[in-house]
Amino acid sequence: MRGFPPRGCDMAGLPNASYSITLRLHLDPADAGAIGRVTSAIGHDDGAVVAVEVVETTGERQVVDVTANARDDEHAASVQAAVDALDGVHVHHVGDRTFLLHLKGKLEVTPTVPLRTRDDLSMAYTPGVARVCRAIADHPEDARRWTIKGNTVAIVSDGSAVLGLGDIGPEAALPVMEGKAALFKRFAGIDAWPVCIDATTVDDIVRIVEAIAPTYGGINLEDISAPRCFEVERRLEASLDIPVFHDDQHGTAIVVLAALLNALRLVDKPIEEVTVAMSGAGAAGVAVAQLLLHEGVKDVVVADSRGILGPSRNGLEGSKAWLAEHANHSGRDGTLKDALAGADVFVGVSAPDLLEPEDLEVMADDAIVFPLANPDPEVDPTGAARYAAVVATGRSDYPNQINNVLAFPGVFRGALDGRAHRITEEMKVAAAHALAAVIPPAELSAASIIPGALDERVAPAVAGAVEAVAAADASR
């Protein structure tokens, strides 16, 4: 099965840390079998015990914390009820580990200089700081050197297209942006900050970002719905002198290209000779198609919910009109299933369960299938592996996760270090090739075409490639 879970194994239904609870139990200290009954009850209810800690034992009671993973909220409640029903076991308190992790946010501001003496204060703040202010006023470009601007990115979102959640607004989007900021710091040492804005129009978003831009060395646009995101990015790239990068578009495209480069090496197909069928013409779909065409893919046939973007589709505007004109060189019409006929590659960035595994049978030999809708892919990955040589998904519980964290930290690290003014197509291609090269030929397999999200080699490799392109651009 090419490294995928056995047929019939529903990975989506397995307990996981996203629904992890800690049960604080009061037990009779004389009851030696109580803990065993608790763990057995959790196991019988299909929960996964991950930790047992005896907090204290007195003559009257034993306090024990049992941590277990569940599938979802309903399953977590069922696990709690199964334990609470045991004789001699009292559930005193239940803590949700995911919510506790987010308590009071995931970020803080920490000074990088000591503030212990009067001298420290006089240099870090008044009156010494005035000298640095005057120097920057005389040479504004030096703000990157003497302030946080050189290592700070704004993560800007209006909360209108949060992955898997939709239009939930800026406050509800904040935990996601905090998490993104934490990833920036963890993998690239960049101080990123969430900027969740209460704005709905392109004009308002652009005006707000332009106004705050002097503080930041780069702008990461995040979870802004299409088609507004295209215009926001285009206008900000034109008006700002710092890199602007819509990660939902370009981060996805970079990682897809990297994974495809390695998958094509495995099946021994030149990128210039393959046809790619795609599902999804939103932000990610447009960027993936554009980058694949830029890299030389023979043909990219994109379908949205109404079918293939081609010559028979009237009334198309914006990015969809561009795809109908510049992609689909073969002039195909019809449905997504028609796009699959003879295609070497399928990339899904759309919606769950659009295809049955059997629908892939019409693809070319040694097909490559990337169903990336998350959490539920366009086609069951395990079933897809019966018809494809290589399968990748957007999920962490299958091999070959297409995860944007493999791109954006290194891309911004390289852009900041290279003092780039924008992220170019050449930088994206260089990032993709560097990411693909992290997997050496000896380690390349159908279950290993892309590094894991926690691979420490990734961000430095991507950053180096992007910085090199930035340096070459600066020398021209």
User: What's the CATH number where 222 sits?
Assistant: 3.40.50.10380
Please provide the DSSP assignment of 135-167 as one string.
HHHH-GGGHHHHSGGGGEEEEEE-SSSBTTTBS
Domains in the chain, number = 3
Q: Which residues contact 207 (CB under 8 A, 6 or more apart)?
A: none
Identify whether 120 is part of a domain.
no
Please provide the DSSP assignment of 298-336 as one string.
SEEEEEETTEE-STT--S--HHHHHHHHHS-TT---S-H
Looking at the structure, do residues 238 and 282 belong to the same domain, yes or no? no
Of 364, 368, 373, residue with least CA distance to 390 = 368
For residues 130 and 116, the answer to whether their CB atoms sit within 8 Å is no
Looking at the structure, do residues 258 and 238 belong to the same domain, yes or no? no
pLDDT value for 10 = 46
Taking the C-alpha atoms of residue 331 and residue 347, their distance in angstroms, rounded to an integer, is 19
Taking the C-alpha atoms of residue 75 and residue 71, their distance in angstroms, rounded to an integer, is 6
Looking at the structure, do residues 384 and 329 belong to the same domain, yes or no? yes
Identify whether 214 is part of a domain.
yes
Looking at the structure, do residues 383 and 421 belong to the same domain, yes or no? yes
Looking at the structure, do residues 235 and 260 belong to the same domain, yes or no? no
Last residue of a domain, one of 185, 217, 242: 242
Of 188, 173, 281, 298, residue with least CA distance to 230 = 281
Looking at the structure, do residues 80 and 229 belong to the same domain, yes or no? no
Last residue of a domain, one of 218, 242, 266: 242
Identify whether 432 is part of a domain.
yes
CATH number where 256 lies? 3.40.50.720
Taking the C-alpha atoms of residue 244 and residue 235, their distance in angstroms, rounded to an integer, is 10
Identify whether 11 is part of a domain.
no
Catalytic residue flag (residue 320): no
Per the structure, the complete domain to which residue 183 belongs is given by: 149-242
Taking the C-alpha atoms of residue 450 and residue 393, their distance in angstroms, rounded to an integer, is 11
In this structure, the dihedral spanned by the alpha carbons of residues 435, 441, 446 and 448, taken in order and rounded to 10 degrees, is: -50
pLDDT value for 3 = 53
Q: Mean pLDDT by 10-residue block, N- to C-terminus, for the chain (476 residues)?
A: 46 80 96 95 96 94 96 95 96 95 92 94 95 96 95 97 90 97 97 96 98 98 93 97 96 98 98 97 93 96 93 86 89 94 97 96 98 93 96 92 97 97 96 98 96 96 97 86
Looking at the structure, do residues 291 and 234 belong to the same domain, yes or no? no
Identify whether 119 is part of a domain.
no
What confidence tens digit (pLDDT) does each residue in 260-282 have? 999 999 999 999 999 999 999 99
For residues 232 and 202, the answer to whether their CB atoms sit within 8 Å is yes
Looking at the structure, do residues 188 and 205 belong to the same domain, yes or no? yes
Last residue of a domain, one of 187, 208, 242: 242
Strand pairing class (345-348; 275-279): parallel
Take residue 84 and report the two structure tokens written for it: 């609470």
Taking the C-alpha atoms of residue 179 and residue 36, their distance in angstroms, rounded to an integer, is 37
Please provide the DSSP assignment of 401-412 as one string.
B--GGGTHHHHH
Taking the C-alpha atoms of residue 426 and residue 470, their distance in angstroms, rounded to an integer, is 9
The position carrying tokens 């007195």 is 58
Looking at the structure, do residues 58 and 197 belong to the same domain, yes or no? no
Find the catalytic residue in 19, 104, 106, 125.
Answer: 125
Identify whether 54 is part of a domain.
yes
List % helix, strand, coil for the chain (3-state, nearest 5).
Answer: 45, 20, 35
Instruction: Give me the helix-helix angle, 283-294 and 318-326, nearest 10°.
Output: 30
Find the catalytic residue in 180, 269, 320, 428.
Answer: 180
Identify whether 221 is part of a domain.
yes
Looking at the structure, do residues 322 and 277 belong to the same domain, yes or no? yes
Taking the C-alpha atoms of residue 309 and residue 306, their distance in angstroms, rounded to an integer, is 9
For residues 219 and 236, the answer to whether their CB atoms sit within 8 Å is yes
What confidence tens digit (pLDDT) does each residue in 126-176 have? 999 999 999 999 999 999 999 999 999 999 999 999 987 899 999 999 999
Looking at the structure, do residues 45 and 187 belong to the same domain, yes or no? no
Catalytic residue flag (residue 19): no
CATH number where 39 lies? 3.30.70.260
Of 3, 10, 79, residue with least CA distance to 377 = 10
Looking at the structure, do residues 192 and 257 belong to the same domain, yes or no? no
Identify whether 109 is part of a domain.
no
Distances (CA, A) of 74 to 70, 77, 372, 459, 471: 9, 5, 26, 38, 53
pLDDT value for 5 = 52
